[in-house]
Amino acid sequence: MTALLLETFVYLLAAVVAVPLAKRLGLGSVLGYLVAGVVIGPVLGLVGSEESVTIQHYAEFGVVMMLFLVGLELEPAMLWRMRARLLGLGGLQVSTAAAAFTAIGLQLGLDWRTALVVGLLLSLSSTAIVLQTFSEKGLTRADGARSAFSVLLFQDIAVIPMLALIPLLAIPELTVLDAGGHADAGHHELSLVSGLSGWLYALVVIAAIAVVVIGGHYLSRPLFHIIAETRLREAFTAAALMLVIGIAELMLLVGLSPALGTFLAGVVLANSEFRHELESVIDPFKGLLLGLFFITVGAGVQFPVLAENAMLVAGLTAGVILIKAGLLFALAMLFRIRRADGWLFALSLAQAGEFGFVLISYAAQNSVLPPELVPLLSVVVALSMFLTPLLFIAFERLVHPRYEGGDSAREADTIESRGPVIIAGVGRFGQVVNRMLRANDIATVVLDRNPQQIENMRQVGMTTWYGDAARPDLLHAAGVGEASLFVVAIDDQEQALEMVRYLKQHHPQLRVLARAYDRGHLYALREAGADWVVSETYHSALETAKHALRGLDYHPFRAEKLTAAFDRAEMRGRDALYEAWLGKSDGERFGRDFRTLYMELEEALAGSMSADRADRHDHGERGWTPPPRAYAEDYAEDYAEDYAEDLAGER
Amino acid sequence: MAPRRLLVLFAHPSLERSEINRHRLAVARDCAEATVVDLYAEYPDYRIDIAAEQERLRAHDVLMFLFPLYWYSTPALLKEWQDLVLEYGFAYGSEGRALAGKYFIAACSAGGPASAYGAEGFNHYSLRELLRPLEQTARLCHMLPLPPFALFGARTAVEENRLDPHLAEFRALLEALGNNTLDGWPSSDVGTANELLGEPAGEVQP
């Protein structure tokens, strides 16, 4: 136990030291984790015991969680829209890269089966590194990154048939050789499917996937609903983790990739109202475990192998990266991914990936890879991953500046690429705002913490997400970074204030619209930095007052004008009162001075409504006043002469 | 002479559909001497701030209405502006001399072809005749009205490649209003100010 804790401590310490350092140096967190791993592993020898293997298992879970989150971001409809790139680009990338590496393997004199496995495992790229780096560098929306994402998704799915294929490639001589060596390989997995015949196995696999899809769709929502009603955050966290771990285990039991299973579950839940809450709950675990995963990759670099075959390893790694980048670049041309995006696409996917490790050990167990190749391949895969952050840096420093101002990574803020409007609180107030925006085809992300409210909204076809919008991590998951506008329409006055403060502090560019409960709240929101504040009852009360005037037989347009005049005077007075309010401390804000000023303004308001046009004071209702009765006398017959003078004066 | 300060009051109630006037608006905004006010943007609720508008008038030497012709007149908000801002005692009346000696020009786009605006055409009157109310309003306010600046056949101007030459002409107009002497312009009896710039208005192919 102490050993495990100690190792965990070492891992965390390495992360805490290395990541901020790497970020400060502009290298990105992934490289930081990898270096930290190298330092505590091969260099200092602090880790590498039994416990390391345990930690490594946990760390691999980071990849599983990442794919769950990736799935959550992908609605089925979006996946369908991506199908051309997913199959075309992804399929071509995997097949051409696999074919190229297989051919090279054959040239180097490998058995065809071994060459095929090597080709397949090197065709895969690192989803973990690439996606993490995209989001860290704010490239997620670039065309090159989206294309890369399609390819990564295809690869993650392609791993499944690869895993199925490998046992069929077993080389008889190696099987004999290894008969004793892998006796211990059996202990590691509990399996439901060992010993099943082919079609039964297929049936079990289909059943397991059906459980994930159907269960995710029909069972998880009522469950989350009940848990959300309890308002216990940790219960929700537990449920979310339970879901992810449960699915991963189910997939392992039937011999499928847990990453694929959780990815599917994510896609199924992408349309549910709990999507953003799930994201915000799982995200910290994913971040931590993925970090650990990178550290274990760094720690796993086998320096003796590297040292003995330095030239060979360097040559192979360079070969892998160059060939993959070359093929990717050709694909980018073929699919019209242009300019900086094409470079981004080619450079980002040029490494081998974490699934490479999985395939290496699986192929070795199944006697497809000769044992002496295993450490060598592992080092090449690790090294290529290690170099990826450097390729990203090359992209940022060398490629991107050349296309600056072009149509690459960051598009202009046109209507199509404009981020959604986030509306926090969708009760009586937020609902109207949301309906108006939706009616104009403006994308909105709507958050509420009342499950009943969400249920009602969803029943009338409004997409609403469950979550406490006052929590920064949820705002983050809802995409506050990309939002074009934020509407704070929640009931709770204090939380509304905090939300505005948080938003303006962390996203100063984001425009924030806020709903105020009363005058004091309105001033406080304004002080907190809200760009536009509206009193929740003011406009409806004013409308009622206007109808009261009409009820008293005022001409409708006169009532309209008086309302406009009142509104203008009120807005002006509001500014004056705000200044007075700002100058006071909390206790005396609505004190005597404020009241005096308020009374004065009320009088001025009444004055401006009743004053007659002719006294030349600047007041509200002055429009359309006719000239004095005798005004025509101003214009004697010599007016024409006046005009002639004006003309002459000008010349 | 120091350049004259231009006040351009732009009125277009559906700018998102505009083919001509949004480009003229952009040209006007490019002009250093011009203050350009998009009236429908400033007063979407028609609640015109009379005091602010009068202040603005005092600070400029030339007033331009920039608008598409709506039923031989200005769009409603620009008419509202006249009704509210040109007050007795400010713009007219025995003491209303705030606008005396300033130039006024209407720059409009008209749907009908140039040939429609005349005794023989389906509009029966020339554009200048139809815009007499504006001219007389300016005159009663002691201003110096100039002949209107116009683009005829505006609905087909883009297709017929007449927009760019027109914008060049508009730029020349702004330049002249800001810097030229304008000798003889107020008393001129030409149909449009375009003619004073040396180019006849209408569907002349470039």
10-residue mean pLDDT series, chain A (651 residues): 78 83 73 81 69 71 80 76 83 91 87 88 86 77 81 82 77 58 43 67 83 85 83 84 88 78 84 82 83 79 77 87 89 81 86 80 79 82 83 80 51 47 89 89 85 77 75 79 89 89 87 91 90 92 94 91 86 82 68 74 69 43 76 65 63 47
Helix-helix angle A29-38:A2-24, to 10 degrees: 130
Q: Which residues on chain B are in Cβ contact (under 8 Å) with A564?
A: 45, 47
Average pLDDT over every residue of B58-82: 96
Q: Which residues on chain A are in Cβ contact (under 8 Å) with B100?
A: 646
Q: How far is A445 from chain B (nearest CA, A)?
A: 27
Q: Please say if the pLDDT value at position B173 is more than 90.
A: yes
> What is the tens place of the pLDDT at every residue in B126-168?
999 999 999 999 999 999 999 999 999 998 999 999 999 999 9
Are the Cβ atoms of A634 and B93 closer than 8 angstroms? yes
Q: What is the 3-state secondary structure (H, E, C) of A513-582?
A: EEEECCHHHHHHHHHHCCCEEEECCHHHHHHHHHHHHHHCCCCHHHHHHHHHHHHHHHHHHHHHHHHHHH
Q: Which residues on chain A are in Cβ contact (under 8 Å) with B93?
A: 627-628, 631, 634
Q: Which residue in B93, B182, B183 is closest to A631 by CB distance?
A: B93
What are the DSSP E strand ranges found in A56-202?
none
> Mutate which of B49, B85, B87, B104 to test chain A, going by most A C-beta atoms within 10 A?
B87
Are the Cβ atoms of B89 and A616 closer than 8 angstroms? yes
Nearest-angstrom CA–CA distance, A35 and A387: 11
| A616: contact with B, CB 8 A cutoff | yes
Shortest CA distance from B142: residue in chain A: A643
Q: Which residue in B88, B100, B187 is closest to A631 by CB distance?
A: B88
Nearest-angstrom CA–CA distance, A628 and A605: 25
Give residue B131's pLDDT: 96
Are the Cβ atoms of B88 and A623 closer than 8 angstroms? no
Q: Which residue in B84, B94, B100 is closest to A646 by CB distance?
A: B100
Q: Please say if the pLDDT value at position B121 is more than 70.
A: yes
Answer for the pair B19, B154: CB distance below 8 angstroms, yes or no. yes
Contact partners, residue B57, CB within 8 Å, separation at least 6: B7, B63, B85, B98, B99, B102
| Closest residue by Cα to residue A159 from A130, A202, A126, A188 | A126
Q: How far is B140 from chain A (nearest CA, A)?
A: 9
Answer for the pair A377, A369: CB distance below 8 angstroms, yes or no. yes
Can you say how many angstroms the Cα of residue B81 is from the centroid of all Cα atoms in its chain? 14
Can you say how many angstroms the Cα of residue A95 is from the centroid of all Cα atoms in its chain? 30
Give residue A267's pLDDT: 83
- Residue A385, classed as helix, strand or coil, is helix
The structure tokens 């270096």 sit at A35
| A20: contact with B, CB 8 A cutoff | no
Which stretch of DSSP H or E encloses residue A485? strand A485-488
Q: Write out the DSSP string of A244-313.
A: HHHHHHHHHHTT--HHHHHHHHHHHHTTSTTHHHHHHHHHHHHHHHHHHHHHHHHHT--HHHHHHTHHHH
Confidence of residue B77 (pLDDT cuts 50, 70, 90): very high
Answer for the pair B63, B57: CB distance below 8 angstroms, yes or no. yes
Q: Is the ipTM of this complex over 0.90?
A: no
Answer for the pair B153, B204: CB distance below 8 angstroms, yes or no. no
- Residue B64, classed as helix, strand or coil, is strand
Give residue A192's pLDDT: 62
Q: Which residues on chain A are in Cβ contact (under 8 Å) with B48?
A: 623
Are the Cβ atoms of A647 and B48 closer than 8 angstroms? no
> Which positions in chain B have a beta carbon within 8 angstroms of at least one beta carbon in chain A?
45, 47-48, 50-51, 83-84, 87-89, 92-94, 100-101, 139, 142, 144, 182-183, 186-187
Are the Cβ atoms of B183 and A627 closer than 8 angstroms? no
Are the Cβ atoms of A646 and B51 closer than 8 angstroms? no
State how far the alpha carbon of A203 is from the alpha carbons of A160, A198, A250, A264, B38, in Å: 16, 9, 14, 18, 69
Give residue A612's pLDDT: 39
Answer for the pair A319, A108: CB distance below 8 angstroms, yes or no. no
